[in-house]
């Protein structure tokens, strides 16, 4: 596949089923097994953040463990340098919590979709105009589902991915509001489960999120 075809394929994978796990691990060594547990529960888009120590190594190891079963990307990308490091490690999508248009051409040249962060309608539209494939609305809990409905009324072309405050209880509400996917951090990748290496419980929680989003 060429870069455009690769990006289109990966974009589809981000929205199927549409639950993106945001992984802030305490060590790179824990990431592969953690990702496997999430994938076993049906969460097939895995965002390893730069706050994870040796995040590039973590991405590389997760991809080796999962193969084609899931898509592994990089999150909390704030600079071109980190973007290139993530892509060199094999990241298949790039996420920034803020508006960083310079990341778009770097990722697109590598065949990877990009999700730039936004909070206001102006920022969301600016992300779209910069070529961002999705708009990460962050923090979503401060804005709420009603804000997303209001935002999409005049701007229905935006592919919004709310992140921050997404739970099993409200996942379905975000989908009904027209979101393309959801980003889920601490309410899915629970610190107590990963610390205890309770992978079966993590898989079960992942399955709950997928059901809630689809439901």
Q: What is the 3-state secondary structure (H, E, C) of 100-129?
A: CCCHHHHHHHCCCCEEEEECCHHHHHHHHH
Q: What separation in angstroms does the CA of 68 have from each of 1, 13, 107, 116, 181?
A: 15, 11, 20, 25, 20
Percentage above 70 pLDDT, the chain: 100
Domains of the chain: 3-214 (3.20.20.70)
Q: How confident is the model at residue 75 (pLDDT cuts 50, 70, 90)?
A: very high
- pLDDT value, residue 107: 98
Inter-residue contact 162 to 135 (CB < 8 Å): no
Burial class (CB in 10 A: 0-12, 13-18, 19+), 199: middle
Q: What are the catalytic residues?
A: 47, 136
- pLDDT value, residue 142: 86
Which pTM does this prediction carry? 0.97
């Amino acid at each position: 596949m060429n870069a455009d075809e690769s990006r289109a394929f990966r974009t589809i994978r981000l929205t199927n089923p549409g639950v993106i796990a945001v992984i802030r691990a305490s060590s790179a060594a824990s990431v592969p097994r953690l990702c496997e547990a999430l994938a076993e529960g049906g969460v097939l888009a895995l965002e390893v953040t730069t706050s994870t120590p040796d995040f590039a190594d973590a991405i590389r190891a997760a991809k080796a463990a999962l193969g084609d079963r899931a898509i592994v990307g990089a999150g909390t990308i704030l600079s071109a340098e980190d973007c290139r490091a993530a892509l060199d490690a094999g990241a298949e999508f790039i996420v920034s919590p803020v508006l960083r248009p310079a990341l778009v051409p770097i990722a697109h040249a590598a065949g990877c979709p990009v999700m730039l962060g936004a909070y206001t309608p102006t920022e969301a539209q600016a992300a779209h105009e910069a070529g961002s494939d999705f708009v990460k609305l962050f923090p979503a809990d401060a804005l709420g589902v009603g804000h997303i409905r209001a935002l999409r009324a005049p701007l229905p072309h935006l592919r919004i991915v709310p992140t921050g405050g997404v739970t099993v209880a409200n996942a379905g509400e975000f989908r009904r509001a027209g979101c393309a996917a959801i980003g889920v951090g601490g309410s899915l990748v629970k610190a107590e489960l990963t610390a205890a290496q309770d992978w079966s419980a993590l898989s079960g929680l992942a399955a709950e999120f997928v059901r809630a989003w689809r439901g």
